[in-house]
Amino acid sequence: MTDVAELHKLVELYHLEHYLFNVVSRRFRQDRTLTPYDFFAIVIWKSNRSKTKIRKGLARRRKSVKELMRMVSQASAPGGKVEVLLEVRGIGLAIASAILTICYPRSFTVLDTRAWKTLKAVESESVKGLPGHYPRNSLEYLRYCRVCRRLADTTGLCLRDIDRALWAFDWDRDLHNFARGE
């Protein structure tokens, strides 16, 4: 670990979200697939506890990460991209959304309970069209993405920043409540 280049890479990995959105996303745009390392970095970023189940799910389907992600990139419709990922045991909507967000940051956003709760609590023209409950299938997730894109368009923020703000709103509210003893 005395190599300076390795130290720089490790610092970059410490800021995992930055690495995923700046290095992995760019690499996916060029290669139209992901390496197992990059794929599982995304999975760990979203839900570390799911990595083993997903690896087993890929093995059951006899698919490599590269094959799976090529199938995702070849699916023409957004719903098709989601469905390809959902065919792998262990990949639910939340993890599929994280993978798609890294690969297609202008089209998809991370499905997260904090962000969802924030959107459901906000009454405005920008957030109309949400499913009545936390998304359970690809169609509902795509409706969630449309609402988030509309919100991004009206605020001038990118989808990722909308996701961050929605998540932070709920986190901030929880922390204030906790600090007040509620």
Q: Please state, in angstroms and rounded to a whole number, the distance separating the CA atoms of residues 30 and 25.
A: 9
pLDDT at residue 86, as a whole number: 98
Query: What is the pTM (predicted TM-score) of this model?
Result: 0.93
The closest alpha carbon to 108, from 53, 65, 160, 52, belongs to 160
Domains of the chain, residue spans? 1-108, 111-182
CB atoms within 10 A of CB 98: 24
Residues of the chain predicted below pLDDT 70: 1-2, 123, 125-126
* CB-based burial label for 77 (10 Å; 0-12, 13-18, 19+): exposed
Q: Is 82 left (phi over 0), alpha (psi -120 to 50) or beta?
A: alpha
Q: How many CA atoms lie within 13 A of 32 on its CB side?
A: 9
- pLDDT given at position 121: 86
pLDDT 10s digits, 103-149: 999 999 999 999 999 998 886 766 788 888 999 999 999 999 999 99
